[in-house]
Structure formats: structure tokens, C-alpha cells
Amino acid sequence: MTNPLVRFAAGALAIGAAVGATLWILLGVFGMGSCQTRACDPATQRIQLALIKKGYWIGYPGADGTFSEATVTALNAFQDNSALSVQPRCDKQCRTALTGSLWTSVGDLLDATE
């Protein structure tokens, strides 16, 4: 029979590890929360979150708002799978396919001037 104190300590460690892992996943991998760094772009973060919702891996640390190589790879895979032109940017057609509707952003204004 195991000492009750050992069982209690093991249970407390397991709960702590589970809470820590859950917070790491929510805050790190899935990028919950707002942009935390100067390099963060809210429009890029929205694209990253939409890619994650569609099941694409955008790399660590998740939706951080930086247009990393992993984000471009995920975006290109999404565009290819959605029969869109594969390019290292997300135009109106791409954003509509990602989100189901257009969102207003600086990107929309830039696309309107092209």
C-alpha cells in the first residue's frame, strides 16, 4: 500500500502539469490573446487564427502575428487546397475563403487600391 502523502503529492503534480500544459496550448500554440510584441500584426494574427481553425499548422509559437515561413507554408497549402492562386499573401478572395466573410482591415484598403 502506498503512503497517502506520496499519492497526494503525485496527484498535485499531475494537476499542475495538466494546467500548465493547457495554458501553454491555449496561450502559445493557438495564440489566444492579443499581440504582445512590436513585430505583431493584428491582420496577420487573424489570418493565422483562421488557418489554425481550418486545421493548418503555423508553427510555434502559434498565432503570434508575424508572417513567418511556417505561416507562408500553411497559407500556401490552404490556397492550393482551396483552388486559389498560390501566393505569399492573402488577398480578398483568400480571406473570404478563410473566414467565410470579409473583414475590414488595412489589407482591404490596400487591395481596393490595386
Report pLDDT digits (tens) over 23-49. Answer: 666 655 555 555 666 678 888 888 999
pLDDT at residue 23, rounded to an integer: 63
Query: pLDDT for 4-27, tens place per residue?
Result: 887 887 777 778 777 766 666 665
Query: pLDDT for 59-101, tens place per residue?
Result: 888 888 888 999 999 999 999 999 999 998 899 899 889 887 5
Kindly state the cell numbers that stand for 26. Answer: 491555449
pLDDT at residue 94, rounded to an integer: 92
pLDDT at residue 21, rounded to an integer: 67
Query: pLDDT for 48-60, tens place per residue?
Result: 999 999 999 998 8
What is the SS3 string spanning 28-70? HHCCCCCCCCCCCCHHHHHHHHHHHHCCCCCCCCCCCCCCCHH
pLDDT at residue 18, rounded to an integer: 75
Give the number of residues written for the chain.
114
**Structural domains in the chain plus CATH codes:** 31-113 (1.10.101.10)
